[in-house]
Structure 1
């Protein structure tokens, strides 16, 4: 991935692994979502405050390429790089990399939008400003 404005370090917990001893494929989406929420908080966008105003950030598409499996106790980083896809759609290019070797575990593109209180796609001003600087 190119310039990464945000990276979050995490660790695999035992209960996230399946019978084969590797992280279950669905768990990776939890890692990605947590990192996106932390990224938004880091730039001053409060996911919960938006929801309280009737503005809901929603995922409309997830593309994940699985390259390598994490196992219990592995440390890793989740990288987040936002991009504007259209007037009302945003994307988050994300990668998970194992620590300490930096091996790429997955790469993903998560696409989403925001729904205004009437349920119509409309990015909130603060998010639109951030995406406008990219």
Structure 2
């Protein structure tokens, strides 16, 4: 798989998109989203992405499989504020034998302003043994294919 950082901006047609609204309690004394909240935003967006890929996150658990974060980097570009509707755009990155990386780009819904970018790497585990495992063909192919063109919204945005 190619390195997503060399592919330029994520366009709506070639990515999974998740929209959500910034809540008051997610903002700091400066009136912008507190930096640590972006880890929450990544987690929520990736959970929706995994749900889209596998039909339900529980499907992974029923296979005695789960994912654990091994690396998360976030780079901020512009502030987000209370009541902004943000769109997380996710595209698959590197797929290894036991780990995979996703690239996320957070945009304001109504404009093409990048708020932040994140790269997150997970390892696939077998929860019953708490050990990492390799991807079977189905899981690996779904992670590599991604969910381009899918939009999930929790924002209640107009139109």
TM range (shorter): 0.7 to 0.9
Instruction: Tell me whether 14-23 or 81-90 shows the greater mean CA deviation.
Output: 81-90
SS state at 2:29 partner: coil
- TM-score, L = length of structure 2: 0.75
Give the direction of change, closer, same or farther, for the CA distance of 1:25–1:41 in structure 2 (3 Å limit).
Answer: same
Shift of residue 2, structure 1, vs aligned partner: 4.3
Q: CA deviation at 1:52?
A: 4.9
Which structure would you say has the larger RCO, counting Cα contacts within 8 Å and 6 or more residues apart? Answer: 2
1:95 is aligned, of 105, 119, 131, to 105
Q: How many Å apart are 1:132 and its aligned residue?
A: 4.7
Answering whether residue 80 of structure 2 is matched by residue 70 of structure 1, we say yes
- Partners of 1:73 and 1:87 in 2: how far apart? 40
Aligned 8 A contact 2:10 2:105 in 1: no
Moved over 6 A (4+): none
Tell me the TM-score normalized by structure 1: 0.87
Q: How far is 1:123 from its partner?
A: 4.2
CA RMSD in angstroms comes to 1.9
Instruction: Look up the SS of the partner of 1:22 in the other structure.
Output: coil
How many matched pairs?
Answer: 134
Unaligned runs of 5+ in 2: 1-8, 147-159
State whether structure 2 residue 20 is matched by structure 1 residue 10: yes
2:130 is aligned to 119
List per-residue Cα deviations over 1:45-87 (Å, max 9, x = no partner).
5323423554221010001111111000111100111223421
For the pair 1:33 / 2:26, whether they are aligned, the reply is no
How big is the shift at 1:32?
Answer: 1.2
Q: Quote the Cα distance in structure 2 between the aligned partners of 1:114 and 1:45.
A: 18
- 2:156 match: none
- Unaligned stretches of 5+ residues in structure 1: none
Q: Deviations over 1:89-130 (max 9, x none)?
A: 100100100121210010111001111132221245332122
